Structure 1
């Protein structure tokens, strides 16, 4: 399996404009700028797309891991916040992915719930691709 996306950019870093597209056309020339990426939370940007990808991946990983142990996840509601910071050379860097997952599942003890959530976090393909701190706050509802 292979997933594809593309981006086009015109102009300088702060004054330029660009678009982001996916092969599936879920995003089709979605515009983005320096401002939508770093200043205004309303608008497209690579970090926002990474957050969405991580949330979707975590949801499926949680459902899979709980299901392997015989537990049906009735619902999983996940929010991911990608944290930007600066490295030791003052260059922008993604520093962390903060995940909050509210999981409705019956029959699992609190200890096993926490263990399975950590297994899912570690096994999610997006988590495995990232070389950053990943923090999961799994809440049983």
Structure 2
């Protein structure tokens, strides 16, 4: 499988602006710019998209691993926070809140850690990953 997205950028780094379009159409000329990346703008930015990809991939991998182990995940809510420090993306903090009936916290932590380590996006990112997993 191959997926693609296209970025169009016009202008200088600080004064320019761009937009992103994804193959699925979920992103359709979605704006991004310097202010949204390095200050407090309201448009998207690469780090936000990385965070969405990591949270989504990890949640799906964990669901697959839990199902394979005989559990039925009711809800997995994952937040990824990507850190950009001095122009370098250094870290993804994953915070997971899970509702799963019939699993011990010890087993849950073990499966969650394995999912974090084997998630395709985790493996694609060359950065520190920290997982905080909470079982309700």
TM-score tier, shorter chain, comes to over 0.9
Deviations 1:66-114 (A, max 9, x none): 111000000011111000113xxxxx11010001011101111121111
Using the alignment, how far apart are the partners of 1:106 and 1:12 within structure 2?
53
Partner of 2:12: helix, strand, or coil?
Answer: coil
Aligned equivalent of 2:116: 121
Match of 1:27 in 2: 27
Please identify, of 102-111 and 66-75, the stretch whose mean Cα deviation from structure 2 is larger. Answer: 102-111
The whole-number CA distance in structure 2 between the counterparts of 1:41 and 1:34 is 8
Aligned positions of 1:48-127 closer than 5 A: 48-86=48-86, 92-127=87-122
**Equivalences, count:** 136
> What is the CA–CA distance in structure 1 between the aligned matches of 2:74 and 2:109, rounded to whole Å?
17
Structure 2 alignment gaps of length 5 or more: none
Give the gaps of 5 or more residues in structure 1.
Answer: 87-91
Partner of 1:89 in structure 2? none
Aligned Cα root-mean-square deviation (Å): 0.9
TM-score (norm 1): 0.93
Q: What is the rounded CA distance, in whole Å, between the counterparts of 2:24 and 2:133 in structure 1?
A: 31
**Counterpart-to-counterpart distance in 1, 2:44 and 2:122:** 21
Q: Secondary structure of the residue that 2:126 maps to in structure 1?
A: coil
Distance in structure 2 (CA, Å) of the matches to 1:74 and 1:121: 19
Question: What is the CA–CA distance in structure 2 between the aligned matches of 1:37 and 1:25, rounded to whole Å?
Answer: 22
Whole-angstrom distance in 2 between the partners of 1:69 and 1:15: 51
Give 1:132 shift. 0.4
Does the residue aligned with 1:96 lie in a helix, a strand or coil?
strand
Q: Which runs of 4 or more aligned residues in structure 1 lie more than 3 Å from their structure 2 counterparts after TM superposition?
A: none
